[in-house]
Amino acid sequence: MERILLWLFLIIGIVLLIKSFKKNPLQEWLLGYLLAAHLAVFLGQLVVNYQLLSYPVKLFPSFESSVLYEYLLLPIISVGYYYQTSSWTSISRLLGMALLSSAALTIFEVILEKNTDLIQYIHWYWYDSLISIFVFLLMIRFLMKQIVTSGRGRND
């Protein structure tokens, strides 16, 4: 069942990737995607190396971390969060949306942890995921906002 879920997540990720290409300015989107993927891979590797959690069943067994989540799904969600909130100026709305997004991902992760071998918490708890995803989304949004704003302010 785990392998089927991984392939399903891969297909969903590819569909979301293709849809995202069509919706947003490609150069900005790619920059945000690559930034989020780079940071997600770095942090994901730390979490696995410190044995906070593990991924017993993986789509790519030669990797210790979840390549599918770190290279595809989380970056797409992060950039989607940025574009969803890019015109918002209210801090409470930004934080609320980040919290809702983080909560949804955390609930889904906990369900996977309890019912599959896709993820196993070792020295990790659901609130670690909630906080780390929340901070990750806000950090990517902040960095993207800085990059996009400085890029639009330049005269080439």
pLDDT in tens, 44-95: 999 999 999 999 999 988 989 999 999 999 999 998 888 888 777 789 999 9
DSSP structure class, residue 61: T
Looking at the domain assignment, is residue 64 inside a domain?
A: yes
**Residue numbers of the domain that contains 137:** 2-10+32-146
Looking at the domain assignment, is residue 133 inside a domain?
A: yes
Contacts of 120 (CB under 8 A, 6+ apart): 53, 54, 55, 56, 113
Looking at the domain assignment, is residue 114 inside a domain?
A: yes
Looking at the domain assignment, is residue 156 inside a domain?
A: no
Position 153 scores a pLDDT of 64
Looking at the domain assignment, is residue 27 inside a domain?
A: no
Looking at the domain assignment, is residue 85 inside a domain?
A: yes
Q: Which helix (H) or strand (E) holds 96?
A: helix 91-115
Asked if residue 119 lies in contact with residue 112, where contact means CB atoms within 8 angstroms, the answer is yes
Contacts of 78 (CB under 8 A, 6+ apart): 32, 36, 40, 136, 137, 140, 141
Closest alpha carbon to 25 in 137, 154, 147, 156 = 147
Position 108 scores a pLDDT of 96
Query: Per-residue pLDDT averaged across 16-41, rounded?
Result: 88
Position 155 scores a pLDDT of 52
Distance of CA 68 to the CA centre of its chain: 10
User: What domain count does the chain have?
Assistant: 1
The total of other beta-carbon atoms located within 10 Å of residue 103's CB is 15
Looking at the domain assignment, is residue 151 inside a domain?
A: no
Question: Following CA atoms 84, 88, 92, 98 in sequence, which dihedral angle do they give, to the nearest 10 degrees?
Answer: 20
Looking at the domain assignment, is residue 94 inside a domain?
A: yes
Distance of CA 59 to the CA centre of its chain: 17
Position 7 scores a pLDDT of 96
